[in-house]
Amino acid sequence: MGVAGKHYPSHGHDAKGNDAQPSQPATASDERIRKESFFGHVLNRPEFAAISGTVLVFLIFAISAGGSGMFALDGVMNWSQVSAYLGILAVGACLLMIAGEFDLSIGSMIGFAGMMVAIPAVYFHWPIWASIIFAFAGSMALGALNGYLVMRTRLPSFIVTLAFLFILRGLTLALSIMVADRTIISGVGDLAQSDAVTNFLFHGVALHGLFTSLAHMGVGTLLDNGQPLVPGIPKVLLWWFALAAVAAFVLAKTRYGNWMLAVGGDANAAKNVGVPVRRVKISLFVLTAFCSCLFAVLQVCDIGSAAADRGLQKEFEAIIAAVIGGTLLTGGYGSVVGACFGALIFGVVQIGITYTNVSSDWFRVFLGVMLLIAVLFNHYVRRRVAQS
């Protein structure tokens, strides 16, 4: 019974006899929801540092080499082609690093895959398309073996793939000497050009007719023989764009992309909630091997020869591009788009420095400084994310 003169709200039933819920005080905002500023949101994006670095690099070269031809059509094709080759490797390295692993055999795989294309085609007279399929199959099988050994032995991927770096480099040298008695095998370019499918996929340039028409209209330089100085878009650029687009979509929009991030963040926790950790990691080792073989096939078809020393130190350049692009060395965080911008920075600086009066010896210094800045920035972003 209530006390006279006071009214106590009922928590049992309302006037109609229905269950009544106790009223909740209105709050201006839920303290569990934190509003983030636009700048804070952008700063937390893994590719922010790479995009900012790209803008800065372009501004530096626009000032120092703006009138040198670096930004003419042929100059753009030069540094973009270098960026594209590295970008293909950076896509695979980025996804594998997001999953918490490394592949130091990338560079050696390039030389080995090039020989798997050249030796059967030139010395055993295989069709060039069969040699390319053989190279992709062999490279991806070796990538699967890398991943299997890492998962089976639980050794650090750094150690396992470092061993394969030396194994593959040694095999490339030994087999090329044994079969061809030389470390450089020529004649692959002519074979690639004569095969319709290989020529369409891997050799030469695309949109040659368009670039010829543009040159005749005054857009671009026309040579004395009536051909444009820039004959078209190199196939490696198209492969880079296609591979990066697919990888970025998979990472951002699919369950498999979520698995990569989960595996790199905490493999044990991911396994406990049903993520196939072993399958994800092995498949990413296969992907890095595929990227290395694609690099080798495009290079062999473009240059026309295979060499045992191709791909030297490319594994480190791919890792640098991924780190500059915002990928953490500890895994669980990264961006394919950022890795592509990291590769773009690499290509612009490597070629752009030749258009300036600066000695090319400073290129490695600049690359090391960029890597250090990227690592420090990524560490700062990770601390911000952990504290939020």
Q: Residue range 90-114: average pLDDT?
A: 96
Q: Is the pLDDT of residue 51 over 90?
A: no
Identify the CA nearest to 111 among candidates 320, 286, 312, 303.
Answer: 312
| pLDDT tens string 363-379 | 778 778 877 877 777 76
Domain ranges within the chain, ordered by starting residue: 47-56+68-387
Q: Residue 328, SS3?
A: coil
Instruction: Determine the pLDDT at residue 1.
Output: 42
Q: Tokens representing 330?
A: 């500890």
- Quick one: DSSP state of residue 15? T
**Average pLDDT, stretch 230-253?**
94
Question: Rounded distance, CA 348 to CA 250, Å?
Answer: 27
When pLDDT is cut at 50, 70 and 90, the band that residue 121 belongs to is: very high
- Interatomic CA distance for residues 346 and 366, integer angstroms: 10
pLDDT at 12 over 60: no
- Residue 6 pLDDT more than 90? no
Ranking 75-89, 114-128, 205-219 by mean pLDDT, the lowest is: 205-219
**Mean pLDDT rounded to a whole number for the chain:** 85
Query: What is the reported pLDDT for 30?
Result: 52
pLDDT over 90 (residue 13):
no
State pLDDT tens for residues 162-192. Answer: 999 999 999 999 999 999 899 999 999 899 9
Q: What is the model's pTM?
A: 0.86
- Predicted pLDDT at 291: 97
| Assigned token pair, 367 | 């690359």
The pLDDT, as a whole number, for residue 381 is: 66
How far from 176 is each of 116, 129, 171, 181, CA to CA, in Å? 10, 20, 8, 6
- pLDDT at position 102 is 92
For residue 81, what pLDDT is reported? 94
**Is the model's pLDDT at 16 over the cut of 60?**
no
CATH code reported for the domain at 47-56+68-387: 1.10.3470
Question: What is the radius of gyration, based on Cα positions, of the chain?
Answer: 27
Task: Provide the token pair at 130.
Answer: 């069969």
More reliable by pLDDT, 371 or 153: 153
Query: Which pLDDT does position 38 carry in this prediction?
Result: 56
Extract the tokens encoding 164.
């394969």
Task: Express as a percent the part of the chain with pLDDT over 70.
Answer: 86
End-to-end CA distance of the chain: 50
